[in-house]
Structure 1
Amino acid sequence: MFFHVVATFLLFLFLSNPFIGITYANSEGDALYALRIAVKDPNNVLNSWDPTLVDPCTWFHVTCDHHNRVTRLDLGHAKLSGHLVPQLGRLQHLQFLELYKNEFVGPIPKELGGLKKLVSLGLYHNNLTGSIPPSLSNLSNLKFLRVNSNKLSGRIPRELAKLGNLKILDLSHNDLCGTFPTFGSFSKFTEQSFKNNPRLEGPELMGLVRYDDDGLCK
């Protein structure tokens, strides 16, 4: 009986301890602050991102749930420039990552594939380069994938076709090459989703990948 009472008391302390939430908030704050120090911010839209504050939920452009876990990052059209940071992959409860219409350069971090609750990934109208990470195929809750109007190259990962919840796909206006999948979730998208990729040959034929004769699809 004594041990049962002690165990119940310790469980109560664990569940009611505010510092547990603070530790989680600090971890997410560290991830967001890594983005702040990696980018140029001429309009000071990230001024409120103060690493000395315990809770990043008080920062502008950041939305949290009732457990103080970051669920949205809205930084569209903010004139930010620089590289996206892999630390964004630590925001495990993030549902909306909206970084569109900025001047981000460099690759899409493969770590974004760890954002299992992500519903919308908006990276369109930037200057991102490199290939689309196959790890994005792990985003099983993703409904909106928009990376159009960048400088992305290489093949479209066939793994993305397994994103069963995908409703909107826009890979247009890039430098993608090879073919695009026509099975799985990709079967419902038209060529509008892939337009203005000069090196893109068209859809796969009969579910088969057509490879460039010269092997220069990179």
Structure 2
Amino acid sequence: MAAPRWVVWALLLLRMLVPAARVLANMEGDALHSLKINLIDPNNVLQSWDPTLVNPCTWFHVTCNNDNSVIRVDLGNAALSGTLVPQLGQLKNLQYLELYSNNISGTIPSELGNLTNLVSLDLYLNNFTGPIPDSLGNLLKLRFLYAFSIY
């Protein structure tokens, strides 16, 4: 007995959408892996951030939504140092970026202004230099910007 035509079309559509979801997850994983290799991690809190996995949703300190898209990165008080990377701007569904109480330095990438779903940005108690990027004005959903010192 042949399957109804709509079932065949639904299966074909599903086969096309699953790879697209994997590409998005891989792009987000690549962005987070760029951050990992740019940070010094003396306590190995990023040890689970394995770029060979299909997506970063199984990594510690990363939360994803039901579509396996990164919505939260919690790296507060992790003794991290190094600099942020522009690739963070690729996390299009990110709502919470928590990086407080580390020793992260350098400039704040203007690409953070691409995170238009961001609700909370916590960069408090780090060692950033330079101006606050004007692009952060694009973050219309931002409700919590925790104070940070810029030297």
- What TM-score comes out, normalization by structure 1 length? 0.63
**Larger RCO, structures 1/2 (Cα 8 Å, 6+ apart):** 2
> Secondary structure of the residue that 1:135 maps to in structure 2?
helix
> Does 2:19 correspond to 1:19?
yes
Q: Which residue of 2 aligns with 1:151?
A: 150
The amino acid across from 1:37 in the alignment is I
Paired with 2:33 and 2:47, the residues of 1 have a C-alpha distance of 11
Q: Which residue of 2 aligns with 1:121?
A: 121
Paired with 1:13 and 1:96, the residues of 2 have a C-alpha distance of 35
> Secondary structure of the residue that 1:31 maps to in structure 2?
helix
> Secondary structure of the residue that 1:89 maps to in structure 2?
helix
Q: Which residue of 2 aligns with 1:49?
A: 49
Q: Which residue of 1 aligns with 2:58?
A: 58
Q: CA deviation at 1:55?
A: 1.4
Gaps of 5+ in 2: none
Task: Tell me the number of residue pairs that the alignment of Structure 1 and Structure 2 aligns.
Answer: 145
> Does 2:107 correspond to 1:92?
no
Paired with 2:73 and 2:107, the residues of 1 have a C-alpha distance of 19
The amino acid across from 1:29 in the alignment is G
The amino acid across from 1:14 in the alignment is L
Paired with 1:14 and 1:35, the residues of 2 have a C-alpha distance of 34
Paired with 2:58 and 2:86, the residues of 1 have a C-alpha distance of 23
Paired with 1:132 and 1:59, the residues of 2 have a C-alpha distance of 29
Q: Which residue of 2 aligns with 1:69?
A: 69
> Secondary structure of the residue that 1:130 maps to in structure 2?
coil
> Does 2:40 correspond to 1:40?
yes
Q: CA deviation at 1:12?
A: 4.6
Paired with 1:91 and 1:58, the residues of 2 have a C-alpha distance of 16
Q: CA deviation at 1:115?
A: 0.3
Q: CA deviation at 1:23?
A: 1.1
Write the mapping of 1:99-110 to structure 2, written as runs, cut at 5 A.
Answer: 99-110=99-110
Q: CA deviation at 1:84?
A: 0.4
The CA RMSD measured in Å over matched residues stands at 1.6
- What TM-score comes out, normalization by structure 2 length? 0.91
> Secondary structure of the residue that 1:54 maps to in structure 2?
coil
Same amino acid, percent of matched pairs: 57
Deviations 1:133-176 (CA, angstroms, capped at 9, x unpaired): 0100000000001132x234xxxxxxxxxxxxxxxxxxxxxxxx
The amino acid across from 2:150 in the alignment is K
The amino acid across from 2:34 in the alignment is A
Q: CA deviation at 1:87?
A: 0.3
> Secondary structure of the residue that 2:121 maps to in structure 1?
strand
- Whether the aligned pair in 1 keeps the contact of 2:124 and 2:146 (CA below 8 Å) is yes
Paired with 1:86 and 1:146, the residues of 2 have a C-alpha distance of 20
The amino acid across from 1:151 in the alignment is I
> Secondary structure of the residue that 2:72 maps to in structure 1?
strand
